[in-house]
Amino acid sequence: MATSQVETISTGADKAKLALAAVLVIGALAAFYLLGKQGPLAQWGALIVGLAAALASFFASEPGKQLIGFGRDSWREVRKVVWPTRKEAVQMTLYVFGFVVVMALFLWFTDKTLEWVLYDLILGWKK
């Protein structure tokens, strides 16, 4: 039996940074709604500044650093992908459309055949 490892936040500093990020997000949302009388510039400014501070706090924590590392690794893998040429993409799309049409015709024919066998031959319900 394979056991899976669960990563937990172990240091108090990381917990504090994540808690600060959560408080900043809540504070930014609260400021957005509480500054309604001040105008949209104040509302959006408070929201953007609060969310930016929350992101900075999150990315300073270990989970944030791991997320950045994951993003870098993912981007590196995407750059290794050999993308199809336009001609290959068009050909594969046409193959898929052709298969869908053939499958639709097959299912329609099967449905009509079963309908004929069940309703006309077995049950005798003529249309």
- If one compares 57 and 7, the residue with the highest pLDDT of the two is 57
pLDDT in tens, 68-97: 999 999 999 999 999 999 999 999 999 999
- Cβ proximity of 69 and 63 under 8 Å: no
30-71 pLDDT, tens digit each: 999 999 899 999 999 999 999 999 999 999 999 999 999 999
pTM recorded for the entire structure:
0.58
How would you label 39-57 residue by residue, b for 16+ Cβ within 10 Å and e otherwise? eeeebeebbeebbebbeeb
